[in-house]
Structure 1
Amino acid sequence: MKNYIVSGIKLTLVCIVFFAGIYTLVIWGIAQLAPNKGKGEIVEYNGKSYYANIGQSFTEPKYFNSRPSAVNYNAAGSGGSNKGPSNPEYLAEVQKRIDTFLILNPGVSKKDIPVDLVTASGSGLDPDISVQAAKVQVNRIAKIRAIEPEKLNQLIAENTQKPLLGLFGPEKINVLQLNIALDKLQS
């Protein structure tokens, strides 16, 4: 019994030194080699700094809407809602988002709304939307900003990020960068 306790204490100490010290320093060192020294992708626009890799709230009708956030876009509290797809509160929240979207986007039917515009991601901080989510908003933005829909579709195409190595993951669009490009298009 004594041997097991001593062995357990030794293993615990080795793990503490390795995972709290060595592993942490190795990961920190690798981050120092990355662009911006592991502090994320910072975008400067109109005198403000934004993190392009953290979702931002865009609710004005003249902008492409972001994916909803379960944590109100607070990077300090990343997380999902933890409500299942049959939870009445969750279903009511999603239905409210669908109804709001349909009011702001007349001519779009419920079946045409991409899921990423009405459901939050697992982290609640996803900065990206699908290409379909951007395209379904084109008519609203074109009308409000008096821009031809073709120009908006071209802007979407220019800001579409392809899958990693052409295989892994879907095409996606960073909403912050798309909305900055949209503002620059009009200025």
Structure 2
Amino acid sequence: MKSQLFTAFKLTFLCLLLFVVIYPLVLLGFAKLAPNQGKVKFIERQGKIVGAENVGQKFDQDRYFNSRPSAVNYNAAGSGGSNKGPSNPDYLKDVQARIDTFLVHNPGIKKSEIPSELVTASGSGLDPHLSPAGALIQVDRIALFRHISKEKLVQLVDAHTEKPLLGLFGPERVNILKLNLALDELK
């Protein structure tokens, strides 16, 4: 009995050491190698914080590039997806409502042309990025609303397209907050 108890204590101590000390330190080490060392980078304009580079924000006005929908209403205190499967009737209603809204604000676009990230929430609900296609499909609406040439907006999207990490990891993406801030700076 004593030998089993001693073995249990050793195993408990080993697990505590491994999962409470070593594992978090390894994750911290990887975070230090990530962009911004794994920390939120706030973006300021005229001395005020306007958002965080790594956290999505709601942009749904016609004058801006729309952001990706959020299942948590862009609440950074707790990220999460909707946990509804692709055949869930409530989920399908939400997606259809987003499609209908997008088509109303972007006439001339066919349903089949809408990139999925514009009508589906990300797993975290806080994704600040869209694909270049997700941004470019909105150019006609913004050009019409702001009286800016489409070519200038396409150049703006291209200038704000981030390449994959180390040229290998992840797809090309556009940070919508940075893109919209640059859009406001256009004359």
Whether these two folds match at TM > 0.5 is: yes
Question: Which residue pairs with 1:150 in the alignment?
Answer: 151
Post-superposition shift, 1:41? 1.9
SS in 2 for 1:173: strand
Q: Aligned pair count?
A: 186
Code of the residue aligned with 2:92 in structure 1: it is L
Question: Which residue pairs with 1:168 in the alignment?
Answer: 169
Taking the aligned partners of 2:35 and 2:95, their CA distance within structure 1 comes to: 37
Question: Which residue pairs with 1:135 in the alignment?
Answer: 136
Question: Which residue pairs with 2:41 in the alignment?
Answer: 41
| 2:9 is equivalent to residue 9 of structure 1 | yes
**Structure 1 unmatched ranges of 5 or more:** none
Post-superposition shift, 1:185? 1.3
Question: Which residue pairs with 2:102 in the alignment?
Answer: 101
Code of the residue aligned with 1:20 in structure 2: it is V
| 2:127 is equivalent to residue 126 of structure 1 | yes
Taking the aligned partners of 1:123 and 1:136, their CA distance within structure 2 comes to: 24
Post-superposition shift, 1:31? 5.4
Taking the aligned partners of 1:169 and 1:36, their CA distance within structure 2 comes to: 17
Question: Which residue pairs with 2:56 in the alignment?
Answer: 55
TM-score calculated relative to the size of structure 1: 0.89
Report the identity percentage: 60
Code of the residue aligned with 2:138 in structure 1: it is Q
Taking the aligned partners of 2:164 and 2:42, their CA distance within structure 1 comes to: 22
CA distance 1:128–1:32, shift in 2 (3 Å): closer
SS in 1 for 2:77: helix
**Structure 2 unmatched ranges of 5 or more:** none
Taking the aligned partners of 1:180 and 1:4, their CA distance within structure 2 comes to: 63
SS in 2 for 1:76: coil
Post-superposition shift, 1:118? 0.3
Code of the residue aligned with 1:13 in structure 2: it is F
Post-superposition shift, 1:76? 1.5
TM-score calculated relative to the size of structure 2: 0.89
Question: Which residue pairs with 2:178 in the alignment?
Answer: 177
Q: Which moved more, 1:6-15 or 1:122-131?
A: 6-15
Code of the residue aligned with 1:128 in structure 2: it is H
Post-superposition shift, 1:3? 3.3
Post-superposition shift, 1:9? 2.5
- CA deviation vs aligned residue, 1:21-59 (integer Å, no higher than 9, x gap): 354456557757877664322211243322111111111
Code of the residue aligned with 1:3 in structure 2: it is S
CA distance 1:162–1:26, shift in 2 (3 Å): closer
Taking the aligned partners of 2:110 and 2:35, their CA distance within structure 1 comes to: 42
SS in 2 for 1:157: helix
